[in-house]
Amino acid sequence: MASAVHDVSLEEAGSHPVPESIVVRFAGDSGDGMQLTGGQFTLSTALAGNDLATFPDFPAEIRAPQGTLFGVSAFQINFGSTAIETAGDAPDVLVAMNPAALKTNVGSLKVGGLIIADAGEFGARNLAKAGYAQSPLEDGSLARWQLLSFDISALTMEAVKPFGLGNKEALRCKNMWTLGLALWMFDRDRAPLIQWLHDKFAKAPVLADANVAALNAGHAYGETAELGGAIRQHHVAPAPVAPGLYRTVTGAESISLGLVAGTQLAGLKMFFGGYPITPASAILHHLSRLKEYGVTTFQAEDEIAAIASAIGASYAGSLGVTSSSGPGIALKGEAIGLAIMTELPLVIVNSQRGGPSTGLPTKTEQSDLYQAVYGRNGDAPMPVIAARSPADAFDCAIEAVRIATQYMTPVMLLTDGYIANAAEPWKVPDMAGYAPFPVQFQEDVPEGGFKPYARDDKLKRPWVKPGTPGLMHRIGGIEKQVDTGHINYEAANHQAMTDIRQAKVAGIADSIPDQDVCMGEAGGRLALVGWGSTFGPIHQAVRRMRARGHDVSHIHIRHIWPLPRNLGALLRGYDQVIVPEMNTGQLKTVLRDQFLVDARPLNKVSGQPFRIDEIEAAIEEALE
């Protein structure tokens, strides 16, 4: 049957309409290579021309105990022939490599969805680790779904037998066998992945050949096995897209490229001082490969050294950049205050994760907004920008560089674990369409003498490279005298400098665009106001509800601080305002404080992104 899927009758084709999008989740032990499998399936999907969004979900432990519930690693991809903005709510297909993977993920599967299980891993020991008294493959507990179980482990061992691998090495090819089956199921080309395997194992050709054999065996199994109605081949047409050069990009890659583009537009070199922390470490990894673009990367001994080195680089005339997650941003707090006091440009990337403390290192959350806007000692205002998707992070990084250099201030760029790790197609932009914002260093002694804290019309102080003749100056963390920058503890001077720093950051609102309405009208019964990675589920939920005739609009904020000038008036044009956030209501509080609007929260702090149906339910309740 499987080999004749393209010769079905019109009646048969009508009984299985081609879906516009499909959600697949690969799940297994953290050593089963699920992230690699998902990543390569994503590559094949992008090459097939589908729009897509992914959601890697893995444990915090480097190697959790094998077969346990908390050691399960999963990778979800939503792909289709229409615009895809989320990784999907409930999977259509779940590939479960062991009992623990099945138990932790099957509850999310759509009723009637397909389970593909490796029966070879459902022995007594693994069942006990997952808390099963008997095998769910045999006791009828999976009756709500279609079930296809076979011994993937044994089939893999058989496929790679000619290459003389030991059992352990042979079983490592199991993810490639599974990937081969998935490639057949969704009509994907194997050639790019075969080439990738040969490149990856160029120094170990036997391993390359074994993995290719496993990939081909999984594909052949789908073609030749009489699997019946439980599994069939699906062809999802390419999504309509504007012509251009496309690639898949994760949030970490996008930010790295955006930082490089921003410094090029500013005419600066970049110094990145970082310290490894999940999920921010990938930015350091990507930037370290871009040295030819004037990028210097430095892995410091701790978070404080990382940001201090970046501040030093900014003082010396490069753009200092640092990144971390919530716990590391807390450690950087004093140094961020130093950058605000010295008024040096600095970009701080915060890839948020679940907290407090070390919290949920590999899960996503938006709970650092208070920390970004308010989280320093003293009155220490700082611009804050939030990216809404992996591709959007590129432009947000450029914007962060622009504000930092044009206003001589540190800027915080917020992403989260979902954005950092997720991937989506990205049309590589033509940089000729981006306006340069070259930095002008002060090089001449002005009339009346040099004043390090003199101001221009933006209240920006001059940027001087150390060693410039006649422009010797000192900076530090103690309060500065107006204009001269000398140490000054006087009450009136501190009041004046505090007001100047606050007015400078508030004035940034003059150079950012007015807030737009992503979908819907500027006024009406209900507005959903989001920020960051909630964009996809909010947008899809609003689209669906508007299609049913509901008066609901979507507003998504990029510039968190200062907020756009027109935002207050825009929000007051709606009867109700709901703010979906992956925290306990932080943007909601800011909006209430700044605009006195009755913004109501919709909160989720499970470490998982919003589902579209959760937001739809909130809209329905509000409009009843």
**Architecture, CATH, for domain 517-623:** 3-Layer(aba) Sandwich (3.40)
Q: Which fold has domain 247-433?
A: Rossmann fold (3.40.50)
pLDDT band at residue 356 under the 50/70/90 scheme: very high
pLDDT tens sequence across 213-264: 999 999 999 988 766 555 678 889 999 988 999 999 999 999 999 999 999 9
Residue with tokens 């309409």, as numbered in its chain: 17
Whole-number pLDDT of residue 382: 98
Helix (H, G, I), strand (E, B) or coil at 349: strand
Average pLDDT over residues 583-605: 97
Return the domain boundaries, the chain.
17-228, 247-433, 517-623
**SS3 for 371-382, per residue?**
HHHHCCCCCCCC
Whole-number pLDDT of residue 228: 56
Q: How many CB atoms lie within 10 A of CB 369?
A: 27
Whole-number pLDDT of residue 211: 96
Sheet arrangement for strand 319-324:
295-299, 270-274, 319-324, 346-352, 410-416, 384-386, 559-561
The reply to whether 17-228 and 517-623 are identical in fold is no
CATH assignment of 17-228?
3.40.920.10
pLDDT tens sequence across 382-433: 999 999 999 999 999 999 999 999 999 999 999 999 999 999 999 999 999 9
Q: Which long-range contacts (CB under 8 A, 24 or more apart) does 150-153 make?
A: 150/118, 150/119, 151/118, 151/119, 151/120, 152/97, 152/118, 152/119, 152/120, 152/177, 152/178, 153/118, 153/120, 153/121
pLDDT band at residue 16 under the 50/70/90 scheme: very low
Whole-number pLDDT of residue 3: 26
Question: What proportion of the chain, given as a percentage, has pLDDT over 90?
Answer: 90
Average pLDDT over residues 120-144: 95
Whole-number pLDDT of residue 31: 82
pLDDT tens sequence across 428-486: 999 999 999 999 999 999 998 999 999 999 999 999 999 999 999 989 999 999 999 99
Whole-number pLDDT of residue 226: 60
Whole-number pLDDT of residue 61: 79
